[in-house]
Structure 1
């Protein structure tokens, strides 16, 4: 039995530190081994259905302890979606409307599911996560996260518009959803500038490379994010590409992450001045 317990604990660790009892059954671990592991302190039983080791992630463990699903900003972070700096950092879980109150300090979303959750339901579906984000974050921040989700989850705008969203906020995000942004910075640009009434296109290929945003015919706006421009070699390539664009008649404005996120007024004013000078118009 000791050998079986050791194998079980190793398997739960490889499963991320948290595993459902049915998954353990399917993997061939008998009830006796599971009980022995819990009795010996090698595993912790969570709400009857979950087995946890010391390596269990705190957010998923909290969801299991409350018989809920990780959702909203918590699920978005776990899925790797781009998140605004001012987004809430507490744990958000979805609970059924008539479920017991949570026993932990969490933000609870009391809703019926839009779509079945993957696996054993500890992480909310993409659709439910988006629906909660639409109601929990300010409209602009919600749209940024939505657009990031479309890119990462390989969803099309038409697909999300077919979902039967339960709230006006979610339907608004779906109507404006785009899968063209390579980063949250691009989405910030598009969302904030879209009301200007000037044609804007994302990821247009110019001189063999896509640009972040093309305003009109000749004004290119590029953004430098943390992950994509972290080396001097990459930075050198970007500067060389900008120079080629300028030599071919384009006006290029490049902004850093800090400028877009923390000094938006200056960014907006710079782009507006370029438009006032006709930089977006074909010569």
Structure 2
């Protein structure tokens, strides 16, 4: 909470009584306040990039230390933090402690590898936290401009985000979240090749429903390739090989 309108005497008494705690030069907090917000306040910085993305519930990537934005013109060094000095795409209010979503995405685009950044961007679009049309109207740096052009709201998770960029070289139409036989499929390559990407929820009843739907797709003339998280993250060459061989056999075309 800000200290405007509260006398120094009252502030000192509330702190002495343990009702409030002093953070930085002009902030008072209740005991137990979010430690990340307190750290940002004390540092005179703003939580941003993948730290803010995590707090928003977006697709998570490895975060070794907090990412902080330093106000324009600031030169303060903060230990054990990744600092961002770039001017924000959307002006920051002087009292804000967490960057607006637009600034978060711009810094993610500049800070993280393309596929990680794409997963976070698509997570934000999917959750409706920002509109692509609004992002397009901003003065975006090149990395963010590229992501704005290529990101979509159709990826159901960050596991799906890198699939289309990795398969673009095939020069085949690839559509996401297409309804076939009463259910959505993750990707439809060409007219008949279905790629399903399973995350950690595809177990138990969900797994049985997946098997039933795969059988129904086969009866309708579709060929289904179903892969798991480990293959997408660590063994993409296996997935690509399966797709290449299926395309070579014409399984993506109507018989």
1:171 matched residue in structure 2? 145
Q: Pick from 137, 154, 165: which aligns with 1:162?
A: 137
When residues 35 and 153 of structure 1 are mapped into structure 2, their CA distance, relative to the original with a 3 A threshold, is farther
Instruction: Give the gaps of 5 or more residues in structure 1.
Output: 1-18
TM-score, scaled to structure 1: 0.82
Contact kept, 8 Å, 1:66 with 1:104, in 2: the verdict is no
**Aligned pair 1:197/2:171, yes or no?**
yes
Tell me, in whole angstroms, the C-alpha distance in 2 between the residues paired with 1:114 and 1:235. Answer: 43
**Aligned pair 1:247/2:219, yes or no?**
yes
2:122 matched residue in structure 1? 147
1:125 matched residue in structure 2? 100
2:28 matched residue in structure 1? 51
Secondary structure at 2:160 match in 1: helix
Q: Please give the per-residue CA displacement for 1:201-253, whole angstroms capped at 9, x wherever unaligned.
A: 00111112111111001111111112x43x41111111111111111111111
**Aligned pair 1:40/2:17, yes or no?**
yes
Equivalence map 1:254-273=2 (5 Å) = 254-273=226-245
1:73 matched residue in structure 2? 50
Higher helix share: 1
Secondary structure at 2:39 match in 1: helix
Tell me, in whole angstroms, the C-alpha distance in 1 between the residues paired with 2:238 and 2:9. Answer: 65
Q: Pick from 61, 70, 84: which aligns with 1:95?
A: 70
When residues 89 and 153 of structure 1 are mapped into structure 2, their CA distance, relative to the original with a 3 A threshold, is farther
Secondary structure at 2:84 match in 1: strand
Q: CA RMSD in A?
A: 2.3
Q: Please give the per-residue CA displacement for 1:9-48, whole angstroms capped at 9, x wherever unaligned.
A: xxxxxxxxxx4446xx7xxx98766433311334321113
TM-score, scaled to structure 2: 0.90
2:250 matched residue in structure 1? 278
